[in-house]
């Protein structure tokens, strides 16, 4: 199968421009259909670019609302906001990421000591379960790094309730292979399917639904567990307070620190004339087992960012070989900057790496400053319970952001 995504901001903007005419009623009518590999033209396929912020949510929404009324494009705008909701929700409950990692380690240990689970897991990972639809999605995921959103829901439900495999192993499989794999969206979507995000509300894959929305390509009648109980687990912890946003004093010379979670530093809320240098972190390898496709996309996207940053800021750009800040500190001193500024780092592997890097800055005289995008500051405070709380605030929040 061909490579689906070119890892550049230019390609993300091109895709956005091409898809805008379809983001209204056409999207609402066709968005749930999975037409198969190479036939996903009914959806935007912008998720890898949004995940790494090669393009911004505000750019996408602004472009869509320049051509469609919010009442016509509400389904598309809501999909953009789902990713924001997941990220904001996890930022206020970072313990859920740690719980996922602990559960993953436990599931791996149980699999290693249980031949029955190990055999079912191997069949699922190799696309050899005998469930035609599931096996096809497994192979599409491995070959392309992408699945239609509806297929992801069916896949997760079948994994949990029909194949009876630990949800953490499924979330891990997605995170390692999806080009748009995101700690918040991925982890919390799997928890939602399992019934752990909203207690007792789980997503059940049904044969008729699959048959209809794949236009008969698959019909697993009689093969699925269509009456499962939701998984049981502890209540999610209460939402904590968001970290207060930081800012950069006007006139201060700064060096920007860029990681793979936000690759448009030219759009950060920092005056361009204050930027005296840019430092780019390499692909974060702290989460083991990322696929070659995921690593290649991130590496090339970082290279694209280095080129754009040098052109936009007209200052030195340094690509670090690892997450040791020595070169960043040296650059700060060389250009007379005492602040290393980054866009707020989300919960997940990048957060762990960044916290370790900041600890190494102690005693260097260089301050670490995290700034927050206006989009996140506007929406995250509503992401404390269900998506409905975000959904009902979308129009007024978009107005406040000047997007409608």
pLDDT tens, position by position, 328-345 = 999 999 999 999 999 999
Q: What is the pLDDT of residue 2?
A: 63
CA–CA separation, 285 vs 43, rounded Å? Answer: 30
| 121: Cβ contacts below 8 Å, ≥ 6 apart | 111, 165, 169
pLDDT at 1 over 80: no
Note whether 91 and 380 are within 8 A (CB): yes
pTM beyond 0.95, yes or no: yes
Q: What is the pLDDT of residue 44?
A: 98
The CA-based angle 271-83-234, given to 5 degrees, is: 125
Q: What is the DSSP letter of 246?
A: B
Percentage of the chain modeled with pLDDT above 70: 100
**Mean pLDDT calculated for residue range 344-356:** 95
Region of residue 162 (left: phi > 0; alpha: psi -120 to 50; beta: else): alpha
Q: What is the pLDDT of residue 323?
A: 76
Q: What is the pLDDT of residue 97?
A: 98
pLDDT bin (cut points 50, 70, 90) of residue 207 is: very high
Domains of the chain and CATH, by start: 9-91+380-400 (1.25.40), 96-213 (1.10.579.10), 254-371 (3.40.50.620)
Note whether 75 and 28 are within 8 A (CB): yes
pLDDT tens, position by position, 209-233 = 999 999 999 999 999 999 999 999 9
**Mean pLDDT calculated for residue range 259-274:** 97
Average confidence score pLDDT of the chain: 96
pLDDT tens, position by position, 68-115 = 999 999 999 999 999 999 999 999 999 999 999 999 999 999 998 888
């Amino acid at each position: 199968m061909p490579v689906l995504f070119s890892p550049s901001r230019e390609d993300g903007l091109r895709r956005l421009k091409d898809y805008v005419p379809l983001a209204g009623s056409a999207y609402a009518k066709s968005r749930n259909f999975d037409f198969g590999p190479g036939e996903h033209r009914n959806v935007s396929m912008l998720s890898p670019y949004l995940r790494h912020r090669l393009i911004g949510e505000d750019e996408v929404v602004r472009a869509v609302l320049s051509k469609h009324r919010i009442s016509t494009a509400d389904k598309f705008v809501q999909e953009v906001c789902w990713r924001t909701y997941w990220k904001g929700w996890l930022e206020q409950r970072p313990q859920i990421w740690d719980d996922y990692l602990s559960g993953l380690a436990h599931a791996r240990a149980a699999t290693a000591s249980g031949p029955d689970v190990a055999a079912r897991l191997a069949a699922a990972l190799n696309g050899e379960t005998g469930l035609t639809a599931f096996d096809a999605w497994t192979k599409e995921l491995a070959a392309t790094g992408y699945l239609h959103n509806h297929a992801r829901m069916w896949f997760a439900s079948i994994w949990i309730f029909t194949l009876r495999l630990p949800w953490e192993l499924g979330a891990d499989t997605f995170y390692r292979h999806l080009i748009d794999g995101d700690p918040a969206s991925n982890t919390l979507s799997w928890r939602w399917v399992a019934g752990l995000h909203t207690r007792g509300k789980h997503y059940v894959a049904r044969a008729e639904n699959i048959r209809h929305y794949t236009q008969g390509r698959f019909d697993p009648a009689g093969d699925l567990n269509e009456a499962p109980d939701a998984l049981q687990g502890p209540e999610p912890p209460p939402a904590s307070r968001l970290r207060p946003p930081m800012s950069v004093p006007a006139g201060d010379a700064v060096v920007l620190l860029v990681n793979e979670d936000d690759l448009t530093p030219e759009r950060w809320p920092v005056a361009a004339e204050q930027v005296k240098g840019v430092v780019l972190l390499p692909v974060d390898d702290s989460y083991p087992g990322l696929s070659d496709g995921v690593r290649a996309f991130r590496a090339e996207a970082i290279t694209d960012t280095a080129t754009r940053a040098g052109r936009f800021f007209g200052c030195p750009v340094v690509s670090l070989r690892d997450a040791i800040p020595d070169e960043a500190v040296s650059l700060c001193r060389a250009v007379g900057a005492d602040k290393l500024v980054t866009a707020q780092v989300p919960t997940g592997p990048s957060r762990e790496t960044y916290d370790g890097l900041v600890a190494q800055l102690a005693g260097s005289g260089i301050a670490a400053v995290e700034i927050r995008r206006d989009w996140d500051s506007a929406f995250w405070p509503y992401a404390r319970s269900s998506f409905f709380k975000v959904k009902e605030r979308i129009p007024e929040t978009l107005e406040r952001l000047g997007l409608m």
